[in-house]
Amino acid sequence: MLSQWILVGAFVFVGFYLLKARRSSNQQAIRRLFIVLALIGGLLAALFPEYTNVLAGLVGVGRGADLLLYAVVVFGLFYAVYQYRRQLWQEKVNTDLARALTLTQAKLDQALGDRDEA
Amino acid sequence: MAPTGSSSPAPRAELDSVWIVIPLFNEAEVIAGVVHDIKTQFKNVVCVDDGSSDESAVLAKTAGAIVLQHPMNLGQGAALQTGFDYVVSRPEATHVVTFDADGQHRLRDAVEMAELALTKRISVIYGSRFLDKRTKPGLKKRIVLKVAALMTRVFTGLRLTDAHNGLRVLSREALGKVRLEQNGMSHASEIVHQLAKSRLSWREHPVEVLYTEYSKKKGQSLLNSINILIDLIVR
């Protein structure tokens, strides 16, 4: 079934993102594109709910509601992974900042100590 | 700085280019004694206080250590890296010895390892508690450490017998190859990983780990090795 291939592909993509994603403007563009597409998709599904059934039929899922559920699961997972990576990056920035502060303080202490001794 | 206690022998001059780095987090009970002990042999001791909420930093400073203070708790790996950066900024430093604050390492082992690094020109010396019979870890601890060593071997190809020993000697050259990004406990694997890639000369040296009631409280669990594995894969 087509839907199975799409789902497998989506999960592999999320897994790949977890392991390999680096911060870049391309990545950001792709994320934003996804959000815009999700918005448009959601809007269309709300306005024309009967077409979700048609689309579901095309990819081999029984009902439109099932199709939406799959989409929600994939997007939710992707979001969690994205936030996790973002947090890792944020931690690194925090660490670098804290370390710079620590080493500057040490230099300052040392300079003041040297001055006091002189 | 002159040793304060009249009973303390002077630090040994041939070890003056060696810096002891101690990551420090809430070890007020023991840190003064540990630093005092080390100062009998090594002139240069730097404690990286990782946001302790107790008196650890003041006690370490009073005992004669240089104390660097993180503004908040970042983790042992982050503390080590800060210590490494500091030592590299000292032009006279040739080696660093990493030493745990909780008093589980023996000073004698650190001295032996430092002498070995200085005289035999070995870039990296890893302490191992499994090379002789002195250390008596419990069964659970033994399993955790053996799993860690096996994981390290799979990832790096380095045949270490004890992958998570806090006592190590790194030359200045080796310090240049290390950039710890794992702030937490996964740095022990990370450091081996990076040093293995550098292809610098290395060996293991037998050390004794003293399992006091105090240090036992702070041990790692078996489940935590899963965390370490994931940390190393997802970066």
Q: What is the pLDDT of residues B1-28, one digit of tens each?
A: 444 444 456 788 889 999 999 999 999 9
The answer to whether A108 contacts chain B (CB < 8 Å) is no
At residue A24, the pLDDT reads 74
The more confidently predicted of residues B12 and B123 is: B123
What is the reported pTM?
0.83
At residue B74, the pLDDT reads 94
C-alpha B21/C-alpha B16 separation (Å) is 14
B100 in Cβ contact with B22 (< 8 Å): yes
Q: Which amino acid is at B47?
A: C
Mutation for testing the B interface, residue in A17, A85, A89, A102 having most B CBs under 10 Å: A102
Contact B68 A88 (CB under 8 A): no
Per DSSP, A14 falls in state H
Backbone angles phi, psi at B202, to 5 degrees: -150, 160
Q: What does the pLDDT look like over B48-72, one tens digit per residue?
A: 999 999 999 999 999 999 999 999 9
For A92, nearest residue in chain B (alpha carbons): B181
C-alpha B65/C-alpha A106 separation (Å) is 12
Q: How do B95-98 and B168-171 pair as beta strands? A: antiparallel
- At residue B110 the predicted structure's pLDDT band, cuts being 50, 70 and 90, is very high
Q: Which residues from B are below 8 Å from A when comparing CB atoms?
A: 48, 66, 68-72, 74, 78, 81-82, 85-86, 89, 181, 183, 233-235
- At residue B115 the predicted structure's pLDDT band, cuts being 50, 70 and 90, is very high
The two three-digit tokens of residue A97, written as one number: 């900042």
At residue B91, the pLDDT reads 93
At residue B221, the pLDDT reads 65
Q: B83: distance to nearest CA of chain A, Å?
A: 9
Q: Which residues of A touch B66 (CB under 8 A)?
A: 106
Contact A19 B78 (CB under 8 A): no
